[in-house]
């Protein structure tokens, strides 16, 4: 299935039905009286979060939506039926915002919803205009038009742990090793073109493998903002570094922080851990061994792992669970 994490849609709520001009006459009421009913309300358009959805793909193929108008009023004081509301479902973590700035909502809870276009009120029938001085009004009002606007949908994956790293650092392999997720793994850049989620450990926390960064990502180079947007909602950042011949661990780590902070300085405040992947390469290169020792001295909490050989993963999992426990306690204090 193709993954789509942004879409622009046009919405038109239903117009209200028109009020009726009608008069009742009968054998015992020769003069009768007004009995025109009111028009029905137009249908509204509602967007609701659904935990079973993963992509905004449907909105790419169908970018226009229109709710039903309300029925017109009728004689005998029969009010028109309201137009049916139109419900659109989006994945959890979808930001819904309008070009006119009237709407800006993050849908982060299952079944959370927002009315994005309100249906128009129904018009009044002539019965509503009857008074002591106006016994036979020939007046009614049309229904109000429903709201019309463009809405932008932007999906930001919700996860407990977000994997941060350059292409081919081994993020996809790590997610495979820690969970039942099956992201594509290969030895060329940008194997991951969309976020993959996996449930990890007995305490069932969610880890996201998100497309790798390159230098200039904050300027939207490479996959740019498509990556950075997803990392902003994770509770904890897990930096995944690996041994490379052309760049030291410390330089790679600082470059990652630079790209994150240029996009959103607030990411600096997020709790984070460091995993250095491909530990099986240490025995093949004294240069890699020296690089690890120097990095470990600067970052004592860094964890050495090998996703493919499944070394150090228990230690990493325990550290992530402990960090998430602290993160949840902090959230409880603020709430």
Query: pLDDT band for position 31 (50/70/90)?
Result: low
Confidence of residue 327 (pLDDT cuts 50, 70, 90): low
Average pLDDT over residues 305-333: 80
Instruction: Give the residue among 161, 287, 168 at the shortest CA–CA distance from 233.
Output: 161
Is residue 152 helix, strand or coil?
strand
Give the chain's length: 335
Euclidean distance between CA atoms 5 and 157, whole angstroms: 9
Q: What is the model's pTM?
A: 0.67
Contact between residue 174 and residue 163 where contact means Cβ atoms under 8 Å apart:
yes
CB 257 within 8 A of CB 285: no
What are 186's two structure tokens? 């290969």
Structure tokens of 194? 């969309």
Instruction: Categorize the per-residue pLDDT at 201 as very low, low, confident or very high, splitting at 50, 70 and 90.
Output: low
Query: In this predicted structure, which of 96-100, 172-176, 178-182, 218-222 has the lowest mean pLDDT?
Result: 218-222
Distances (CA, A) of 190 to 55, 154, 219, 279: 19, 21, 17, 22
The residue behind tokens 């041994």 is 243
Q: State how far the Cα of 172 lies from the Cα of 319, in Å rounded to an integer.
A: 19
> Pairing relation of β-strands 6-12 and 148-155?
antiparallel
Spatial separation of the C-alpha atoms in residues 149 and 160, rounded to whole Å: 34
Q: For residues 18-34, b (16+ Cβ closer than 10 Å) or e, as one string?
A: bbbbbbeeeeeeeeeeb
Does residue 218 register a pLDDT over 60?
A: no
pLDDT > 90? residue 135: no
Average the pLDDT over 21-45 and give the result. Answer: 87
| pLDDT score of 262 more than 70 | yes
Highest mean pLDDT among 13-27, 255-269, 288-302: 288-302
Are residues 295 and 249 in contact, defined by beta-carbon separation less than 8 angstroms? Answer: yes
Of 96, 56, 275, 238, nearest to 160 by C-alpha is: 238
Coil, strand, or helix at residue 305? coil
Which position has the token pair 């790590």? 174
Domain architecture of the chain: domains with CATH: 6-155 (2.70.210.12), 161-334 (3.40.50.300)
Alpha-helix residue ranges (DSSP H) falling in the chain: 57-61, 171-178, 224-231, 249-263, 286-298, 313-334
User: What is the DSSP pairing of strand 271-277 with strand 236-242?
Assistant: parallel
């Amino acid at each position: 299935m193709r993954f789509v994490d942004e879409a622009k849609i046009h919405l038109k709520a239903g117009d209200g039905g028109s009020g009726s001009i009608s008069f009742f006459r009968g054998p015992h009421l020769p003069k009768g009286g007004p009995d025109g009913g009111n028009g029905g309300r137009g249908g509204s358009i509602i967007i609701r979060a659904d935990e079973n959805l993963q992509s905004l793909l449907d909105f790419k193929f169908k970018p226009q939506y229109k709710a039903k108008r309300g029925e017109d009023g009728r004689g005998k004081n029969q009010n028109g039926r309201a137009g049916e509301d139109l419900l659109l479902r989006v994945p959890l973590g979808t930001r819904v915002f309008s070009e006119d700035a009237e709407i800006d909502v993050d849908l982060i809870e299952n079944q959370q919803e927002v009315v994005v276009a309100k249906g128009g009120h129904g018009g009044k029938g002539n019965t509503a205009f009857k008074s002591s001085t106006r016994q036979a009004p020939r007046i009614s009002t049309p229904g109000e038009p429903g709201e019309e606007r463009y809405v932008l949908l932007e999906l930001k994956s919700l996860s407990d742990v977000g994997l941060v790293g350059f292409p081919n650092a081994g993020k996809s392999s790590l997610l495979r090793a820690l969970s039942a997720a099956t992201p594509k793994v290969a030895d060329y850049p940008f194997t991951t073109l969309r976020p993959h989620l996996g449930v990890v450990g007995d305490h069932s926390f969610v880890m996201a493998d998100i497309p790798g960064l390159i230098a200039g990502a904050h300027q939207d180079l490479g996959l740019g903002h498509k990556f950075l947007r997803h990392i902003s909602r994770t509770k904890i950042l897990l930096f995944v570094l690996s041994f490379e011949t052309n760049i030291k661990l410390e330089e790679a780590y600082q470059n990652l922080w630079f790209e994150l902070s240029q996009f959103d300085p607030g990411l600096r405040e997020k709790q984070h851990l460091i995993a250095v992947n491909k530990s099986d390469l240490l025995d093949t290169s004294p240069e890699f061994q020296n690089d690890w020792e120097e990095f470990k001295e600067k970052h004592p909490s860094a964890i050495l792992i090998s996703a493919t050989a499944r070394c150090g993963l228990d230690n990493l999992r325990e550290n992530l669970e402990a960090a998430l426990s602290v993160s949840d306690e902090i959230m409880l204090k603020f709430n």
